[in-house]
């Protein structure tokens, strides 16, 4: 083998080794910011109805109407929160709650929420709350303030539903509870890792 052939074959071998070490254009290397993160799995209508009816102690038919309405508006949720809360108001009020956040493929995570309310609102109540979460890709994103959306509250089969939105994430709490409450209010809920006494 002459010298020229030896040099050419060495360059070809070196080039092939570098090409082998490079990630394929079709499969970006993990850790690359362009590498698409897998989307979380969503929950079906039946999964939500069964879980909500178990938490609230009502029949699947009773909760089905509220779930149908939310699914028609928003589709299948990527997570949900099952919990309980208490609230009270004389014009100005507060709401406190706690529950577990569920996402498929992840351990349940404890969540607290609290927030002020203001409006023509009198009384108090205790509720079981089942909150559907939309566009929640990572559990920790839940820890922020969610204002209520005006005009989104409605009542189906004795269950109250309203929407809250922040940073592209939509929450749809379904409430069933006991107490005496009359009026309407505006406010927000702050979701936190620990319970806060001050609702602001």
Do the domain assignments include residue 18? no
Provide the pLDDT for residue 127: 81
Q: Which residues contact 49 (CB under 8 A, 6 or more apart)?
A: 60, 63, 64, 67
81 lies in a domain? Answer: yes
The total number of structural domains in the chain stands at 1
In a domain, 5, yes or no: no
Residue 48 is encoded by which pair of tokens?
């939500």
The per-residue pLDDT for 196 is 75
| pLDDT attached to residue 22 | 42
Which pLDDT value is given to residue 160?
A: 81
CATH code (residue 66):
2.40.128.480
**Which pLDDT score is estimated for 119?**
54
Would you say residue 155 lies in a domain?
yes
Tens-binned pLDDT, residue by residue, of the chain (200 aa): 554 554 445 444 444 444 434 443 444 444 444 545 567 899 999 999 999 999 988 888 889 988 999 999 999 999 999 999 876 656 566 788 999 999 999 999 999 999 876 555 455 667 899 999 999 999 999 999 998 754 445 566 678 888 899 999 999 999 886 544 444 455 678 999 987 766 55
Residue 63 located in a structural domain: yes
Query: Is 197 within a domain?
Result: no
In a domain, 97, yes or no: yes
**Which pLDDT belongs to residue 161?**
85
Contacting residues for 60 by C-beta, under 8 A, at least 6 apart: 49, 50, 53
Total length of the chain: 200
pLDDT of residue 144: 95
Do 42 and 77 touch, CB atoms closer than 8 A? Answer: yes
Q: What domain range includes position 144?
A: 45-192
pTM of the model: 0.71
Q: Identify the pLDDT of residue 11.
A: 46
What pLDDT is attached to residue 9?
A: 52
22, part of any domain: no
């Amino acid at each position: 083998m002459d010298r020229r052939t030896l040099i050419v074959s060495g360059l070809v071998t070196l080039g092939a080794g570098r090409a082998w070490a490079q990630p394929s254009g079709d499969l970006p290397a993990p850790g690359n910011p362009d590498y698409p993160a897998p989307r979380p799995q969503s929950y079906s209508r039946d999964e939500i109805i069964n879980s909500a009816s178990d938490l609230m102690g009502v029949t699947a038919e009773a909760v089905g109407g509220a779930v149908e309405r939310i699914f028609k508006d928003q589709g299948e949720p990527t997570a949900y929160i099952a919990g309980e809360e208490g609230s009270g108001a004389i014009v100005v009020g507060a709401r406190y709650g706690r529950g577990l956040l569920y996402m498929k493929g992840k351990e349940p995570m404890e969540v607290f929420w609290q927030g002020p309310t203001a409006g023509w609102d009198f009384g108090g109540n205790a509720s079981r709350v089942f909150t559907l979460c939309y566009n929640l890709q990572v559990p920790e994103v839940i820890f922020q303030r969610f204002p209520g959306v005006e005009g989104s509250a409605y009542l189906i089969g004795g269950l109250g539903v309203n929407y809250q939105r922040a940073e592209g994430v939509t929450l749809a709490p379904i409430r069933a509870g006991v107490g005496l409450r009359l009026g309407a209010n505006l406010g927000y809920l702050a979701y936190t890792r620990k319970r806060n006494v001050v609702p602001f």
